[in-house]
Amino acid sequence: MKYNFDEIIDRQKTNAMSVEGYGPYLFNGENKLDIKHDSKDLIRMWVADMEFAVAPQIIDGIKERLDHPIFGYSGIFESDYADAFLNWTKRRYNWEFNKEYLVNALGVIPALFTLVEYICKPGDKLLFMTPSYAFFKHAADKHNIGYVVSELKCTDGYYEMDFKDIEAQVSQEEVKLCILCSPHNPTGRNWNEAELKQLGDICFANGVQIIADEIHCDLLRGTEKFTPLAKIFPQSDQIITCMAPSKTFNLAGFMFANVIIPNDALRTEWQEKNLPIVNPLSVAACQAAYANGQDWLDELTVYLDQNFQFLKDFLTEHLPKAIYNITEATYLAWVDLAAYFEQGENLTLFFANEAGVILEGGNMFVDHADGYVRLNLACPRAKLQEGLERMVEAINKKSA
């Protein structure tokens, strides 16, 4: 391997959300937080960023920009960034979009919040699938928009959409927008073309637009292929695609995401209401990532595949009642530990207090997540192993 994903990097004193920010985010208002481990000794497997150094090609891109000493207001006036991103989507998913449709946002969450505001009127509702990433609900709540959910069907840890239920939900007059998470956080499903086609057909037949949050689309197990929803419906202007280099290349701190809006009226509204100003270092980093990051991502994929297999083997040996499938995408494992806990138990709190492992339990997601934990496997294997060993020890102690 050219890149060292085993390297353990100390993130203290870097203002890292992962290190300093778990208290307010995971335990806000929680008075039972009583972590037994020293804060330096915590194993962090919660927020979706990586414990790995970024590709050196990205650092080179940033350094090159730093060689020019002026950092005034910046926009994307030349086509280099869009070309790098478009080449990426062409090469990886054989998908091309009209460059005119591309706008940029400070992140996919800010984009979702903005889009829900522009698309939904008072009285409208949005649809998403559960268990769900909580920010889809927050996007509705923020704008006082109602929502309906469709529960994914789970068979032995494998999730599928319930199309009959989705049809029932979108046939309600008020439902105007669906937020699709593809690949899906937290279950890790990489929806296939047939599933995406069926979802799109149902939504469009009922006048429902789709925001496709495809932020995890490059983080696939080695055998998987990703299809953007918009590729399946090339004539439609009812799909807004959100992609970003933040998850793929560990660049979340640069706050830069791609939003592809084919609908002219919606894109015009976006352009009129959002200043097209960007951080010049973000553009340099993200452009370098798309242009030169492929071989780093290839090696990362191999390493993550091995981490997923490691987790599978570990659970089989030490927690045989856990239900877990190696997920098709994301670096997040979704593990059903309900057999070891009471219904409604707060697993986020339990593992923080008893194991010094910071993870996201089912309480951090919307619906149908009780008894689950989401583990971020984008960390050196030694850390993963230690975290898992501590989790097993805590469970064994509890049931002794």
Distance CA 366, CA 132 (A): 5
Distance CA 396, CA 236 (A): 53
Contact positions with ligand PLP (CB under 6 A) in 115-144:
133
CB of 186 vs ligand PLP, minimal distance in Å: 8
- The smaller minimum CB distance to ligand PLP, of residues 256 and 341, is found at 256
Token digits of residue 353: 């207090």
Looking at the DSSP bridge assignments, the partners of residue 154 are 159
* Residue 213 makes contact with ligand PLP by CB under 6 A: yes
Contact 105, 257 (CB under 8 A): yes
* Residue 246 makes contact with ligand PLP by CB under 6 A: yes
* Neighbouring residues of 369: CB distance < 8 A, sequence distance ≥ 6: 130, 131, 186, 361, 362, 363
- The smaller minimum CB distance to ligand PLP, of residues 16 and 392, is found at 16
- Taking CB under 6 A as the binding criterion, the range among 37-45, 105-113, 188-196, 364-372 that sits at the site for ligand PLP is 105-113
From its phi and psi, is residue 317 left (phi > 0), alpha (psi between -120 and 50) or beta? alpha
Distance CA 158, CA 386 (A): 27
Residue 172 CB: number of other CB atoms within 10 A?
A: 13
State the DSSP code for 362. Answer: G
Contact positions with ligand PLP (CB under 6 A) in 269-288:
none
Helix (H, G, I), strand (E, B) or coil at 167: helix
Distance CA 80, CA 360 (A): 38
* Residue 327 makes contact with ligand PLP by CB under 6 A: no
What is the length of the chain? 400
| 93 φ, ψ (degrees, to nearest 5) | -125, 10
Of these, 89, 169, 185, 327, which contacts ligand PLP (CB under 6 A)?
Answer: 185
Of these, 103, 109, 127, 202, which contacts ligand PLP (CB under 6 A)?
Answer: 109
Of these, 54, 55, 103, 108, which contacts ligand PLP (CB under 6 A)?
Answer: 108
CB of 183 vs ligand PLP, minimal distance in Å: 9
* Residue 145 makes contact with ligand PLP by CB under 6 A: no
- The smaller minimum CB distance to ligand PLP, of residues 345 and 362, is found at 362
Contact 51, 6 (CB under 8 A): no
- The smaller minimum CB distance to ligand PLP, of residues 54 and 395, is found at 54
Of these, 16, 37, 62, 107, which contacts ligand PLP (CB under 6 A)?
Answer: 107
- Taking CB under 6 A as the binding criterion, the range among 58-66, 101-109, 230-238, 364-372 that sits at the site for ligand PLP is 101-109
Token digits of residue 42: 């915590």
- The smaller minimum CB distance to ligand PLP, of residues 185 and 353, is found at 185
Contact 122, 285 (CB under 8 A): no
Longest dimension (CA), the chain: 64
CB of 167 vs ligand PLP, minimal distance in Å: 24
Token digits of residue 117: 């505001």
Task: Report residue 245 CA to chain centroid gap.
Answer: 11
Contact positions with ligand PLP (CB under 6 A) in 251-270:
252, 257
Of these, 181, 203, 278, 284, which contacts ligand PLP (CB under 6 A)?
Answer: 181
Token digits of residue 63: 């350094």
- The smaller minimum CB distance to ligand PLP, of residues 252 and 388, is found at 252
Q: Please count the residues of this chain forming the interface with ligand PLP, following the rule CB under 6 A.
A: 13
Distance CA 262, CA 244 (A): 17
Distance CA 356, CA 336 (A): 20
State the DSSP code for 21. Answer: S
CB of 256 vs ligand PLP, minimal distance in Å: 8
Of these, 19, 45, 48, 54, which contacts ligand PLP (CB under 6 A)?
Answer: 48
- The smaller minimum CB distance to ligand PLP, of residues 233 and 365, is found at 365
Of these, 177, 243, 244, 369, which contacts ligand PLP (CB under 6 A)?
Answer: 244
CB of 293 vs ligand PLP, minimal distance in Å: 17
CB of 257 vs ligand PLP, minimal distance in Å: 5
- The smaller minimum CB distance to ligand PLP, of residues 244 and 349, is found at 244
Contact positions with ligand PLP (CB under 6 A) in 301-320:
none
Residues that bind ligand PLP (CB under 6 A): 48, 107-109, 133, 181, 185, 213, 215, 244, 246, 252, 257
